[in-house]
Amino acid sequence: MSTDYNYDDKGQFFPYFVLTILGLILCPLTYSTFAPSKQPGISKTPLIKENNYKPPGNEAIEAARRRQKRKERRLKRFTSIVIGWALFAYMAYLIAVTANADGKIWDPYEILGISMTTDEKAIKSHYKKLSLKYHPDKIRPTANQTLEDLNNHFVELTKAYKALTDEDIRNNFIQYGHPDGKQSFSIGIALPTWIVSEGNNYYVLAVYGLLFGILLPYYVGRWWYGTKKHTKEGVMTESAGSLFRAYDENIDEKKLVEILTTGEEMKLITGGAREKEWIGSEEATIERKIKAAGLADKQMKVIEELDGWRRRALGLLWAYIYRVDLGSEKLSNAKLDVAPAAIALNKSFHAIALAYSNTQPVMASMRLNQCLVQAVPPHASPLLQLPHFTNKTVAAIEQDGGKNHWTVQRFIACPAEKRKKLCVGKGLLNDEQYEQAINFAKALPALSIESAFFKVMGEKYITPASLVNFVVKMRVVPPGSTPPAVDAKDLLDEDPDETDVEALLGRDGKSQGKAGDQSMTPLAHAPYFPRDYSPTWHIFLADEKQGKMIVLPQPITRWEKSTDNFAVQTFKLQFQAPPQPGEYTFVMHCVSDSYLGVDKKQNVTLVISDPSKVEQIKEDEEISEPEEDSLAGQMNAMRGGPVKKSKKRSSNADDDDSSEESDTDGEEADDQSETDTDTDTDEE
């Protein structure tokens, strides 16, 4: 073997090694920690600019928020990154500073101590001078130089001189970079020699074995089982399993609350490792308080039939929903931990319910989400969302004993005087609180559906099994604001130009929305919820008769940015039309997942035309006969040719009917021409 591995005996190359390894680790780590996440980030803008509403128990809520932020800060990662880069810098410094004793580029100019521009004569004289100085016979070794060093140095000088003057040596230098000719190829390994020295190599092997045989599989295994432990929605797979088994098609919000507490995340909070922290009297306290807050007997019974961590979790969840003050800090913290866990589990349940496609559980899940975000009991008044509103305030306003709850919109629609009189007073709100409440109420993002229709791109009629677009045009109309009238043009859905393939495929910026054009919806106003929550709206179509969803919900998390606050937004759902022609009535739902009382419902009809009729209509329209009233029509009629009876241009909705009409009209005209006596009958 001609190659020889030179280990780094002088210990000057290991910085390169360490540098490379560190670089490999640090760059991706730093990038992943600091780079913007691929997910469309949660917008940080709150709904109301100056929101200084502090709900009761706010300190605990703020504390919970802080705790969560601390957990997310990933302190360990940051410290390790800082240390890593410090080490990196140190290595770089070492490299720069260490004198390159070996392997430097052999530079004759440097050895002789002359610049590159010296001419041959100067080189010669310089060499003569140097040789006088450095010849081993002439010079005496000083304290830190051996005789050998002196000899080597002089040999180097001679070599350098020869390299610049002598032909052969010069050639060598040019070709191989060294006057001695071809050097043996040496590979240096930037690891210190002691690694391979006798005795040590077992330790080295042991280190390798440890690293690759034990640590690597361990971490890979831990990562792999970690990813398998959570579902796509971010809950543990065991929880998703429990939720799935508890699914029933007749679930309502109250039952769902009970089901959500079967999740493992709940167990982590109220049981498992923290089991011993709980005292029996605490359970009793929780249950007493929620009963006093108004939880119905049926739900209390369910709690009492449970045991252990599940009972505590259910009690805490109801306590959160009913905004019960539990007294001790520990209970409040547990209560505030249970709420985000419930939201996460609800998302998992939502996915499960969608797989079954029954409307009721899906609606229950979305409505419960609203309740959880706003801390309002199911089927309670949407007015409880408003700051400072309690059950007493609501009772004073609604005066209806719990049915016919008022929505925020209805509240604002009241004349201002009356509104104020209803809720400001002794034991109710004071003026300042009233102002805060109205402030939020007027910012509530209620949607108004301006138009909703079905459309197949590029076609006028919808045929069976075609790809239908359900177009919804809506605006955000907060209560109390009067939006301008809608421009009719905004309500149409223009088909893009036929040559515009991108738009047809829906890949252009407009239909999907470039990130720049769309702004995230502001954070939900949820003073009781101890996390930032980004609201989504869901639009879907359902068949009320069967209670099934026809088109799955499309989540909307961003609006098109525009200068006009009341701009009409367009959203499209795509699905395949049913295979039979006819009229189908569906209900369109637009449900928010964080505000109560802003849901919208509308009946829509899908008319599917028989494809053969559509063909006929197309034919008729292409070769349209002259109309009856026109001159050409009269002439044609005299000649006995077919004539189109003038018919009313009916609206789109009647198109199906009118297509029927035109058929019969055509036949009638033909009949007439047949019975038409004289004239040329060869013009049929």
Q: Is 401 in the site for other proteins (CB under 8 A)?
A: yes
Burial of 11 (0-12, 13-18, 19+ CB in 10 A): middle
User: Which of these segments, 347-355, 464-472, 475-483, 637-645, binds other proteins (CB under 8 A)?
Assistant: 347-355
Side-by-side strand order, sheet with 600-608: 548-556, 537-543, 582-592, 600-608
User: Which of these segments, 385-393, 410-418, 441-449, 517-525, binds other proteins (CB under 8 A)?
Assistant: 410-418
Tokens 């410090």 belong to residue: 86
Task: Report DSSP letters for 36-61, one per residue.
Answer: PPSSPPPP---SSSS-----TTHHHH
User: Which of these segments, 42-50, 71-79, 228-236, 251-259, binds other proteins (CB under 8 A)?
Assistant: 228-236
Output the smallest distance, CB 242 to other proteins, in A. Answer: 9
Q: What per-residue string of b and e applies to 257-279 under the rule 16 or more CB within 10 Å gives b?
A: bbbbbbbbbbbbbbbeeeeeebe
Closer residue to other proteins in complex, CB, 357/658: 357
Closer residue to other proteins in complex, CB, 311/335: 311
Q: Contact with other proteins (CB under 8 A): which of 32, 145, 171, 404?
A: 404
Output the smallest distance, CB 344 to other proteins, in A. Answer: 13
Beta strand pairing call for 582-592 and 537-543: antiparallel
Q: Is 240 in the site for other proteins (CB under 8 A)?
A: yes
Q: What CA–CA distance (Å, rounded) separates 227 from 212?
A: 22
User: Which of these segments, 18-26, 200-208, 225-233, 320-328, binds other proteins (CB under 8 A)?
Assistant: 225-233
CA pseudo-torsion sign 490, 495, 496, 501 = positive
Output the smallest distance, CB 529 to other proteins, in A. Answer: 24
Q: Is 238 in the site for other proteins (CB under 8 A)?
A: yes
Instruction: List, in order, residues 6 or more apart from 300 with CB less than 8 Å away.
Output: 287, 290, 291
Q: Is 36 in the site for other proteins (CB under 8 A)?
A: no
Output the smallest distance, CB 403 to other proteins, in A. Answer: 6
Output the smallest distance, CB 503 to other proteins, in A. Answer: 30
Output the smallest distance, CB 664 to other proteins, in A. Answer: 24
For residue 295, what are its two tokens? Answer: 């939880």
Q: Tell me how far apart the 2 most distant CA atoms of the chain are, in Å.
A: 142
User: Which of these segments, 75-83, 177-185, 239-247, 320-328, binds other proteins (CB under 8 A)?
Assistant: 239-247
**How many helices and strands in the chain, by DSSP H and E?**
27, 11
For residue 572, give the nearest of 513, 617, 530, 516 by alpha carbon.
513
Q: Contact with other proteins (CB under 8 A): which of 102, 148, 400, 629?
A: 400
Output the smallest distance, CB 544 to other proteins, in A. Answer: 5
Residue at 263: amino acid letter = G
CA pseudo-torsion sign 45, 47, 50, 53 = negative
Q: Is 232 in the site for other proteins (CB under 8 A)?
A: yes
**Alpha helices by DSSP H, 403-443:** 408-413, 416-423, 431-441
Q: What CA–CA distance (Å, rounded) separates 313 from 242?
A: 15
Output the smallest distance, CB 52 to other proteins, in A. Answer: 30
Q: What per-residue string of b and e applies to 401-439 under the rule 16 or more CB within 10 Å gives b?
A: eeeebbbbbbbbeeeeeebbebbbeeebbeeebbebbbb
Output the smallest distance, CB 434 to other proteins, in A. Answer: 17
Q: Is 402 in the site for other proteins (CB under 8 A)?
A: yes
Q: Contact with other proteins (CB under 8 A): which of 279, 355, 501, 638?
A: 355
Output the smallest distance, CB 280 to other proteins, in A. Answer: 22
Output the smallest distance, CB 499 to other proteins, in A. Answer: 37
Site string for other proteins, 504-543 (x = CB under 8 A): ----------------------------------------
Q: Contact with other proteins (CB under 8 A): which of 48, 63, 87, 414?
A: 414
Burial of 361 (0-12, 13-18, 19+ CB in 10 A): buried
Output the smallest distance, CB 423 to other proteins, in A. Answer: 13
How many residues at the interface with other proteins, by CB under 8 A? 30
User: Which of these segments, 199-207, 265-273, 344-352, 459-467, binds other proteins (CB under 8 A)?
Assistant: 344-352
Closer residue to other proteins in complex, CB, 351/567: 351
Q: Is 545 in the site for other proteins (CB under 8 A)?
A: yes
Closer residue to other proteins in complex, CB, 401/579: 401
Residues 590-619 that bind other proteins (CB under 8 A): 603
Closer residue to other proteins in complex, CB, 64/260: 260
Q: Is 299 in the site for other proteins (CB under 8 A)?
A: no
Output the smallest distance, CB 480 to other proteins, in A. Answer: 15
Q: Is 427 in the site for other proteins (CB under 8 A)?
A: no
Closer residue to other proteins in complex, CB, 86/413: 413
Q: Is 399 in the site for other proteins (CB under 8 A)?
A: yes
Beta strand pairing call for 558-560 and 186-192: unpaired
Burial of 138 (0-12, 13-18, 19+ CB in 10 A): exposed
For residue 324, give the nearest of 298, 297, 291, 301 by alpha carbon.
291
Residue at 300: amino acid letter = M
Q: Contact with other proteins (CB under 8 A): which of 158, 285, 348, 463?
A: 348
Output the smallest distance, CB 227 to other proteins, in A. Answer: 10
What phi and psi values does residue 252 have, to the nearest 5 degrees? -115, 180
SS3 188: strand
CA pseudo-torsion sign 540, 543, 549, 550 = negative
Tokens 């559906």 belong to residue: 449
User: Which of these segments, 196-204, 229-237, 332-340, 572-580, binds other proteins (CB under 8 A)?
Assistant: 229-237
Closer residue to other proteins in complex, CB, 404/512: 404
Site string for other proteins, 376-395 (x = CB under 8 A): --------------------
Q: Contact with other proteins (CB under 8 A): which of 138, 245, 288, 618?
A: 245
Output the smallest distance, CB 473 to other proteins, in A. Answer: 21
Beta strand pairing call for 447-455 and 582-592: unpaired
**Alpha helices by DSSP H, 584-630:** 611-622
For the chain, how many residues are written? 684
Rg of the chain (C-alpha set)? 41
Output the smallest distance, CB 594 to other proteins, in A. Answer: 22
Q: Contact with other proteins (CB under 8 A): which of 33, 585, 650, 652?
A: 585
What are the residues facing 569 on neighbouring strands? 474
- The binding site for other proteins (CB under 8 A) comprises 228, 231-233, 237-238, 240-241, 244-245, 247, 348, 351-352, 355-356, 399-404, 410, 414, 418, 544-545, 585, 587, 603
